[in-house]
Chain A
Amino acid sequence: MQDYTYPSIFLAYLLFAVFAGGALYFLIRSIKDGYWGKDSEEVKYRMLADEENKYGE
C-alpha cells in the first residue's frame, strides 16, 4: 500500500501558505482602504441605520 502521508501534509501546508499569503494581502489592503485611519469609526454608526427597525419590538 502506498503511503500518502507526506503528500497530504504538503497539501495542508500549501493550503496554509495560500491562506496566510491571502491574509497578509488583505491586511495591507485594509490599511489602503482606510480601516485604520481617522474615518474608520464611521461604519459603526452606519450599521445602526441599515434597516427599518419597526418589527420585533
Chain B
Amino acid sequence: MDEKKAVHSGTAVSSTAVPVHTDTTAKWFLLSAVVYFFIVGIVAIILAAKFIWPEMLGTVATLTYGRLRPLHVNGMLFGWLLAADMGLVYYLVPRLCGVKLWSEKLGVATAILWNFIILSAVVVLLGGWNQGLEYAELPLWLDVLVVVAWIMFGWNIFATVAKRKYVQMYVSVWYIMGTILWTAFVYLVGNFAVLFATGVNQANLNWMYVHNAVGLIFTPVGLALAYYFIPKSGNIPLYSHKLSMIGFWSLAFIYVWTGAHHMLHGPISQWLQTIAIFFSVMLLVPVWTVVYNFFATMKGQWELLQTRVELKFLMSGVVFYLLTCFQGPMHSLRSVNALVSKTDWIPGHAHMAVLGAFSFFAIAGTLYTVPRIFKTRLHSASMANWSFWFMMIGGLGFFVTLWLGGLWQGWQWNNPAIPFIDTVVALGPVWTVRFFSGVLIFLGIVLFLYDIVATAIGASGSEPIEDAA
C-alpha cells in the first residue's frame, strides 16, 4: 500500500512521527470533573435522605429540596459528566487524528471558564435563581457563558480534526463532531428559544431539549468514548467500523424526533405524539448496531474483564445502555406510558442512562486516561475494582427498586379510589432502599475520587516510567 493510499484509508504511516501530547486541558477537565462528581454526590445523598426524613434541613432555604434537586441534576450533568466527557475528548481526538491539539491555551481557557460556570451555577441554584425549566434551570447570563465555552471547545476540536493526518476518521471522531453540532442546536432551542414560547408550545420545546440533552449530547459523546476505550482497553479491534457508521447515521436522523413522547396523553396533537412514538421505537436500530458491535468485539475476549477494570465499567455500561434504550421505546407506547409516566420508574430509567451507561463510560475513560496523561500507573487497581462493585450493586439496587416502586405507584394512581397521599406514604420502603443504594454508589465515587487524585499526586513525586521499547 503506497503512502497516499495508506493515509487516505487510515493505516498508520511509519515514516511520520508520533506527536507529543501535553494534555494540560484534559488534566484540568478530568480532575475538576471528578471533584464535582464527589461534591454533587453529597447533594444526591442529602436528597435521597429527604425522601425518608422530609423535615431534614427543611428550615434552611438554601438546602430545601427545590434548591438542591436542580443543583444535583445540573451538577451531575454538566459539572461531572459533560466535563469528564470534554476532558476525554481533548485526550482522544488528537490521538485519533495523529496530531497535537490545535491549542492547549484555548483548551485551558475553556476549562477555566467551564469551572467558573459550574461554581456560579452552585451559587445561583442554591440562591434560588432558577428559570423553572427542567435541565434549563440556569439563568440567562450563565446560558450565554455556556454557549461561549462550547464555541471555544468546538473550535479547538474541529480545528484539530481539520489538520488531521488521515482523511478517514474513526467513528469516535464522527460522534464527537456530532455531539458538538447537536449540542449547539439542542442547547440554543432548550435555553433560548424556549423562553419566548408559552404554554404547550413551551413545554414541547422544553421536552425536546430534555430528551435530546440525553440523546444528542450524552449519548453520542458517551458512545464516542465506548468506541475508543473498549478496543483500547482490551487491545482488540472493533468488530465492524461499517456497522458503527450505520449506528451513527441512524442516530443522527432518528433521535431528534422523540422528545414529544414525554407529553403522551397530554394536550399536544395526536399526530405529533404518534411521530414521537414511531421514532422512539425506531431508536432500537442505532442501539442494536452499537450493542451488537461491542459484544461482537468482545467475543472470545471476555476473560479480559477479570483483569481490566476499565472493561468492567465499559461492558456493564453497554448492558445498561441496552436496557435503558429498550425501556425508552417501550415507555413511548401509549399503554405503557399511561402506567409509568411521572412515576418513580422514570428516575430509575434516567439514572440507569446517566449513571449506569454514560457515567460508567466516563469513569472507564478516566481510569484509562489519567495514568497515561500523568505518565504513571493507576494508584490502585484494587480500589478501582471496589469502586466498580460499590457503584454496580448500589446502582442495581437503585434502578430496580425505583422500577418496582414506580410500577406500584402507577397502578395506585390509576385507581381513583386510592387517595394520593396514601400512594406517597406507601413508597416509604422503596425510598429507604433508594437511600442505602445511594450510599453504596457514593462510596464507589469516594474510592474513584481517591484513586484518581492519588494517581495524579503520586505521579508528580515519582520518576516517569521508562520506555519499555
Contacts and interface: CB of A to CB of B under 8 A. Distances in A.
Interface of A: 3-5, 7-9, 11-12, 15-16, 19-20, 22-23, 27, 30, 33-36, 39-57
B10 A19 contact: no
Given A53-B232, A54-B468, 19 more contacts: A5-B201, A8-B194, A8-B205, A11-B193, A12-B189, A12-B193, A15-B185, A22-B181, A33-B168, A34-B8, A35-B168, A39-B9, A43-B168, A43-B169, A43-B241, A44-B170, A48-B235, A51-B372, A55-B465
Contacts of B168: 33-35, 39-40, 42-43
Contact of A47 (B194, B208, B231): B231
A19 B231 CA distance: 31
Interface stretch (B128-136, B245-253, B279-287): B245-253
B251 to A, nearest CB: 10
25 contacts: A7-B196, A9-B201, A9-B205, A11-B189, A11-B193, A15-B189, A19-B182, A34-B8, A34-B9, A35-B242, A39-B8, A39-B9, A40-B242, A41-B241, A42-B9, A43-B241, A44-B170, A44-B241, A46-B10, A46-B170, A48-B231, A48-B235, A51-B372, A54-B468, A56-B378
Main secondary structure of the interface of B (DSSP, over half): helix
Contacts of B238: 44
B188 interface: yes
A4 B197 contact: yes
Contacts of B463: none
Contacts of B228: 47
B12 A46 contact: yes
A43 B95 contact: no
A1 B404 CA distance: 46
B22 interface: no
Interface string B81-98: 000000000000001101
Name, among B9, B170, B235, B378, the residue most crowded by chain A CB atoms within 10 Å (CB to CB). B9
Contacts of A16: 185, 256
Interface in B64-110: 95-96, 98
